[in-house]
Amino acid sequence: MEQIVRSICRHLFQGICVALIVATLGFVAVNLTRGDTALDVAIARYSEDLTDAAVVEQIRREEGLDRPLAMQYFQWVARVITFDLGRSLVSREQVTGLLAHHFYYTFLLAATATTVSILIALPWGILCGVYPGGIVDTVSSMICSALVSVPQFVIGLLLILSLSIKLHWLPVAGFFSPAHLVIPAITLGIGLAAVSSRVIATSLADVRGALFYRFGAMKGLSPFKVLTAHGMRNAAIPVITYIGVQAAHLLDGVVVVETLFAWPGIGKLLLDSVLARDIPVIQGACLLIGLLYVTVNITVDMICFALDPCRRNYQTTS
Amino acid sequence: MILINKKIPILLLCMLFTLGGSQVLASQTERPLVIVSPWGAKGMDPLVSGFIFTRMGCLETLVTTDDKGGLAPLLASKWHVSDDKLSWTFILRDNVLFHDSTPLTGENTALALKRIFARGKLFKSSPIESVSGSGQKLTIKTKKPFSALPAYLAHSSTAIMSPAAFGTDAEVDKIIGTGFYKLADSDGKTVFNFIAFSDYWGKKATIKRARYLAVSDGETRALMAESGEADIALTLSATAARRLRGMNNIDIHSTAIPRVREITLNANLPFFDTAPERLAISLAIDREGIANAILKNLGTAATQLMPAVSMWHNPGLLPLSHDPEKARQLLEKAGWEKSQDGIYTKDGQEFSFELLTYSTRPMLPVVAEALQSQFAEIGVKMTIMVAKSSQIPSKYKDGTLEAALIGRNFGLVPDSIGTITSDFGPALARGSWGSLGWESEKTNSLIEQYLATFEDQKAAKIRTDIAEILQHELPVIPVSWYDHHVTVSKRISGAKLDPYEIIPYTKGVRWSR
């Protein structure tokens, strides 16, 4: 238990450092790029038609963009310590509220897409892993390569054309009901499932070649029992690590899918904020994404710790 | 085990009945009228997001437009200006209630307008002096004659809200207007749900619920129209409109709007400092070719700056034409000589410039490429730089802008005088999007006269004169006009789209079956 707590603390410390570094890099990158922050904010807030030099100067003054960059940065750090991420320069909304709103939808989509990918990948990968090199494995390998190489927006458009336009089963875009979640989640889930299934198949094939697996069969256990008791558990560790990385990737936003399905996730928010140079939102989103990666890493570590006796024993003895 | 096996089909049946029941319930509940647009809200303040609330029929302005773009009364039933032209009186409609049942009076209208005049960017250089109200009368005083005031009061940012809509520091707390729809709920960004307001002063909404949804991707909006999810889908590409035109469940409305694709030039540069050189550039442009091949509508080829929907359009002007030979002659007359590589040169300097444009208006970079090849044909070298739109005012400000291809909106308010002043008026009134380095005393004087003119005929004459100057001097070079493609589902009827985008999309709309 002590090892777990120590591991969590280490990850948390690393996470906070990483998040702060990422947010700082975001601030530096936005200010290093050519252009005027006040001007970009004015255009995003009032449109090109109502933006002129007077409006830009007013925004510069009101938002404190005329202060030295170092002062702006340290004021932000001082606010972050008190859990205040400030207000959006464009909409004047609290950044925490904005991030919470968008993160809710991102989490919903990421969780559903991961579930879809697991539901597809698990039986598919096990089937291929049990008969490696067989016809099923060979065909599935080709299908996976094809699915991975097809861009997500193509999969999304094909699903819209078939399920929404032709069959009228599901809505095209929006976020008003669970039905709106289905096509975006499948769009993301299919690609993830293709890769996950290969990871599962390879991992399972490796485990099936291990001594302990063959010993299980030799001592008289049924093939199903050996697979479920010894194979699945041991094959799960690389799979869970991989799914964790995928989930973290989904949580930091999938802009193409969010744009295509008008899904109000964090990726679209970040993209719009970068285009509008909305620095408080960019920094807040960077912080959040940094922390999310750490949370996912901790969760994956805990699951692996619970599943893998070698890891437990190693940490206990060390 | 047997028990479990028996339970499974029963459970499945229950699920099917539940799903079926929910489908029946869903079909019995009236669906909302769904309007899909590319623009989300930048906050709940009508000063920045007023277009959503006015175009959904939730907030109303004092003045609106009629079908032809002329001014029409809305919350103000009539208005007049004093003899000295410095005091405007607006008579407010009787029996108008805000959504919180507060009556519309001169006092609370004045309160709302004071905030708008102080914070609204539309009025930043207008000569408003004071606003006061009493009973059903509202008085606005100006420092100098300002004939365009009623047109400015048709802009969405001037929508009138109840005093209860504002919290501390006059920040907007909630949306409380006078329109036929009232805001039910929203996420403050992309989705806004409205319900019919039963105490509306005019013709009430026949569809009980309406929804505004911001969908930034044009192809998704087109697909939503095609699937029947969107009753009205706004701002589709010409290609999408063409694809959907043959469908039997939707109609395509294509309306010309007062927005222009134009080349803004820096007249301080030796290439553009004289009118003949600017005319040569204009003559090199095959506008009909661009309109036909790229914009898929021959009617969008600009023959002058303002399209026919604008009151500033002058039908008497000689149309801008395509004549590469004449363009070459003009350049040679201006002292430019062709070098060995076919590019015009004068005093050792090539006729070569950079055209800055941006991709948030998707057709601009494509049109820029067409222009590049058309200019190359006459011996003018142009490089294209696609950047963020903010680069244009930034370079304009420091004087390094050479040329820019922009989409300029002359329909911000029904009378384009504000944009005309900002783009072609006196140096002090200039914005950051119009001509750079070009100034005309005559234009400045005409603009001043126009703002002080209250007679329609005299104002029309001034508009004609200004349009003539712009056509001859070409401080900016018009390339094409915009048209706005909108799909309207055949499920609804009564939808009308006005070129100035002021009349609510939802006005007079009803289910057709």
Chain B interface test: which of A52, A177, A272 (most B C-beta within 10 Å):
A52
List chain B pLDDT tens, one digit each, 513 residues.
Answer: 444 444 544 444 444 444 444 444 444 457 899 999 999 998 899 999 999 999 999 999 999 998 777 899 999 999 999 999 999 999 999 999 999 999 999 999 999 999 999 988 888 778 999 999 999 999 999 999 999 999 999 999 999 999 999 988 888 999 999 999 999 999 988 999 999 999 999 999 999 999 999 999 999 999 999 999 999 999 999 889 989 988 989 999 998 899 999 999 999 999 999 999 999 999 999 999 999 999 989 999 999 999 999 999 999 999 999 999 999 999 999 999 999 889 999 989 999 999 999 988 889 999 999 999 999 999 999 999 999 888 898 899 889 999 999 999 998 888 899 899 989 999 888 888 888 999 999 999 999 999 999 999 999 999 999 999 999 999 999 999 999 999 999 999 999 888 888 999 999 999 986
Rounded Cα gap, residues B256 and B480, in angstroms = 11
Closest partner residue to B409 (CB to CB) among A49, A90, A160 is A49
Considering the domain architecture, whether residues A63 and A207 belong to the same structural domain is answered as no
| CB-based contact, B206 to chain A, within 8 Å | no
Is A281 part of any domain? no
Q: Any bridge partners for residue B36, and if so which?
A: B213, B233
pLDDT tens profile A50-103: 888 888 888 999 899 999 988 988 888 888 888 888 999 998 889 999 999 999
Which residue's entry shows tokens 């002659």? Answer: B329
Considering the domain architecture, whether residues A7 and A117 belong to the same structural domain is answered as no
Q: Is B64 helix (H, G, I), strand (E, B) or coil?
A: strand
pLDDT at A160: 95
Task: Name which residue leads in pLDDT, A16 or B176.
Answer: B176
Is A44 part of any domain? yes
| CB-based contact, B126 to chain A, within 8 Å | no
| CB-based contact, B139 to chain A, within 8 Å | no
**CB A176 to CB B191 under 8 A?**
yes
Neighbouring CB atoms inside 10 A of A24's CB total 16
Considering the domain architecture, whether residues A155 and A82 belong to the same structural domain is answered as no
Q: How far is B412 from chain A (nearest CA, A)?
A: 8
Residues of B in contact with A48 (CB under 8 A): 389, 406, 409, 433
pLDDT at B198: 96
| Cα B89 versus chain centre, distance | 28
Closest partner residue to B389 (CB to CB) among A43, A55, A56 is A43
**CB B390 to CB A172 under 8 A?**
no
CATH number reported for the structural domain that contains residue A107 in this entry: 1.10.3720.10
pLDDT band at A225 (very low <50, low <70, confident <90, very high): confident
| CB-based contact, B125 to chain A, within 8 Å | yes
pLDDT at A234: 83
Rounded Cα gap, residues A76 and B384, in angstroms = 38
Two tokens at B341? 């590589």
Two tokens at B40? 């989300």
Considering the domain architecture, whether residues A31 and A170 belong to the same structural domain is answered as no
pLDDT at A280: 93
Residue of A nearest to B416 (CA): A49
Residue of B nearest to A100 (CA): B187
| CB-based contact, B121 to chain A, within 8 Å | yes
Two tokens at B61? 């302005």
Residues of B in contact with A174 (CB under 8 A): 191, 213, 215, 229
- For A160, the domain range is 101-275
Report which residue type is found at A146.
Answer: A
∠ CA B108-B112-B115 to the nearest 5 degrees?
140
CB B506 within 8 A of CB B209: no
Beta strand segments in B358-437, E? 381-386, 403-409
Is A52 part of any domain? yes
Q: How far is A233 from chain B (nearest CA, A)?
A: 27
Residues of A in contact with B224 (CB under 8 A): 172-173
Q: What is the DSSP code (8-state) at residue B494?
A: -
pLDDT at A313: 66
Domains located in chain B, CATH noted: 10-214 (3.40.190.10), 257-482 (3.10.105.10)
Q: Is B354 helix (H, G, I), strand (E, B) or coil?
A: strand
Task: Name which residue leads in pLDDT, B205 or A134.
Answer: B205
Considering the domain architecture, whether residues A76 and A127 belong to the same structural domain is answered as no
Residues of B in contact with A93 (CB under 8 A): 43, 188
CB A185 within 8 A of CB A116: yes
Is A71 part of any domain? yes
According to DSSP H, which parts of A131-178 are helical? 135-149, 152-159
Chain A interface test: which of B220, B357, B409 (most A C-beta within 10 Å):
B220
Sheet with B137-142, strands from edge to edge, namely B76-81, B87-92, B137-142, B128-134
The yes/no answer to whether this complex scores an ipTM above 0.90 is no
Considering the domain architecture, whether residues A307 and A195 belong to the same structural domain is answered as no
Q: What is the DSSP string of B222-284?
A: HHHHHHT--SEEEEE-HHHHHHHTT-SSEEEEEEEEEEEEEEEEBTTSTTTSSHHHHHHHHHT
Is A41 exposed, middle or buried (CB count within 10 Å of its CB: 0-12, 13-18, 19+)? buried
Considering the domain architecture, whether residues A232 and A304 belong to the same structural domain is answered as no
Residues 6+ apart with CB under 8 A from B84: none
**CB A174 to CB B191 under 8 A?**
yes
**In 3D, which of B186, B196, B207 has the Cα closest to residue B489?**
B207
Considering the domain architecture, whether residues A141 and A168 belong to the same structural domain is answered as yes
Which residue's entry shows tokens 């004015």? Answer: A42
Considering the domain architecture, whether residues A6 and A52 belong to the same structural domain is answered as yes
Rounded Cα gap, residues A193 and A207, in angstroms = 20
- Strands B337-338 and B76-81: what pairing? unpaired
Q: How far is A167 from chain B (nearest CA, A)?
A: 9
**CB A55 to CB B121 under 8 A?**
yes
**CB B390 to CB A90 under 8 A?**
no
Considering the domain architecture, whether residues A225 and A314 belong to the same structural domain is answered as no
- Strands B209-214 and B232-236: what pairing? unpaired
pLDDT at A34: 75
Considering the domain architecture, whether residues A129 and A158 belong to the same structural domain is answered as yes
Rounded Cα gap, residues B30 and B28, in angstroms = 6
Which H or E element spans position B186?
strand B181-186
**In 3D, which of A169, A185, A312, A208 has the Cα closest to residue A260?**
A185
pLDDT tens profile A237-255: 888 888 888 888 888 768 8
Rounded Cα gap, residues B509 and B504, in angstroms = 10
pLDDT at B428: 80
Considering the domain architecture, whether residues A254 and A133 belong to the same structural domain is answered as yes
| CB-based contact, B203 to chain A, within 8 Å | no
Interface residues of chain A, partner chain B, Cβ below 8 Å = 34-36, 39-40, 43-46, 48-56, 90-93, 101, 157, 160-161, 164-165, 168, 171-176, 259-262, 264, 268, 275
Q: How many domains does chain A have?
A: 2
In total, the C-beta contacts within 8 angstroms joining chain A to chain B are 109
**In 3D, which of B251, B313, B240 has the Cα closest to residue B499?**
B313
Rounded Cα gap, residues B352 and B332, in angstroms = 15
Q: Is A98 helix (H, G, I), strand (E, B) or coil?
A: helix
